[in-house]
Amino acid sequence: MQADNNFEVKGFFDTDSHTITFVVWDPKTSDAVVIDPVLDYDPKSSSTSTVSADEVADFIVQKNLTVRHILETHAHADHLSGSQYLAKKFKAPVGIGAKITDVQGVFKGVFDLPEDFKTDGSQFDFLLEDGQVLESGSLKIEVIHTPGHTPACVTFKVGDALFTGDVLFMDDYGTGRCDFPAGSAKDMYNSIQKLYKMPDETRVFVGHDYMPNGREPKWETTIGASKKNNPQIKADTTEAEFVAFREARDKTLSAPRLLFQSVQVNIDAGNLPEPHANEIRYLKIPVNVFRGAEQKGVDSPDSVELTEESI
């Protein structure tokens, strides 16, 4: 797809989850998309708030932008999505990669979701296929399937810019982890090879930043800088080297603080669970489901150890 760089990018860094939400817009037409918005959640009080999403919304209103689409790079495991809040506010549809159906199929069982919980992705307004070009007003957004962190991960290409979610991080940090169900270090390697074939000057906007060595948060680098500097996967890193490193590292990482709360909301397109008869909403927290269960009679699958990049 030919690069059209008549667009601007604004990143919003969420200090709690180290997530970056992006607003991408065409200054000539004011057409815009929002990528990976955050809904704040306090696990101590089990309460949500919209501080992060409101910062994004205020910017959109200030710039008088028209939000055409709200896009998710994947079903996040470290923060609740703010997509539904912004969707209602700006009357914009929510989309995600078509392979979200694989993730829904896995976690429907983990959370013992109701029989009528659909695993066809229909909770989202639209699903995106690899190679598809989404027209968001005057913005053209190419969808690149980049599995590895999850089977449903996608990278969005707008002009000369990539929005990589949890696939490729800053060039002084590395990549996302690969130990989710159906995650794969080999798939991650191959996904990054797709990106590394792009011109060195291609900009990379990352989904998280963990500020190595205490530096200030950053979220923009280039393909060339990544190929040269990335400590986990340089241009000459072999598949065997990357897979060995990634799998060894993933075994040392602790579970994300909001793992279960976020996944069950995000596979449902960012919708909170329906209220019960007492008008209270409930999130399910499974016990001993991914790590070795110590209680007699509790089975724990050996093949899945679900963790997320530790902060």
Q: What is the pLDDT of residues 227-263, one digit of tens each?
A: 999 999 999 999 999 999 999 999 999 888 899 999 9
State the Cα–Cα distance between residues 52 and 178, nearest whole angstrom.
27
pLDDT of residue 290: 66
Question: Quick one: what percent of the chain has pLDDT higher than 90?
Answer: 87
* CA 92 to mean position of chain CA atoms: 19
Chain mean pLDDT for the chain: 92
Quick one: average pLDDT of 65-91?
98
> What's the pLDDT tens digit per position in 143-184?
999 999 999 999 999 999 999 999 999 999 999 999 988 899
Distance CA 289, CA 297 (A): 12
Residue 48 pLDDT > 80: yes
The structural domains of the chain, with segments of one domain joined by +, span 8-266
Please give the DSSP secondary-structure letter assigned to residue 71. Answer: E
Confidence band for 289, pLDDT divided at 50, 70 and 90: confident
Residue 291: which pLDDT band, with cuts at 50, 70 and 90? low
pLDDT tens-digit map of 184-232: 999 999 999 999 999 999 999 999 999 999 999 999 999 999 999 999 9
Q: Position of tokens 């509790």?
A: 298
> pLDDT grade, residue 303 (50/70/90)?
very low
pLDDT at residue 307 is higher than 80:
no
- The CATH class of the 8-266 domain is alpha beta
Q: Is 234 left (phi over 0), alpha (psi -120 to 50) or beta?
A: beta
For residues 101-123, give the mean pLDDT: 95
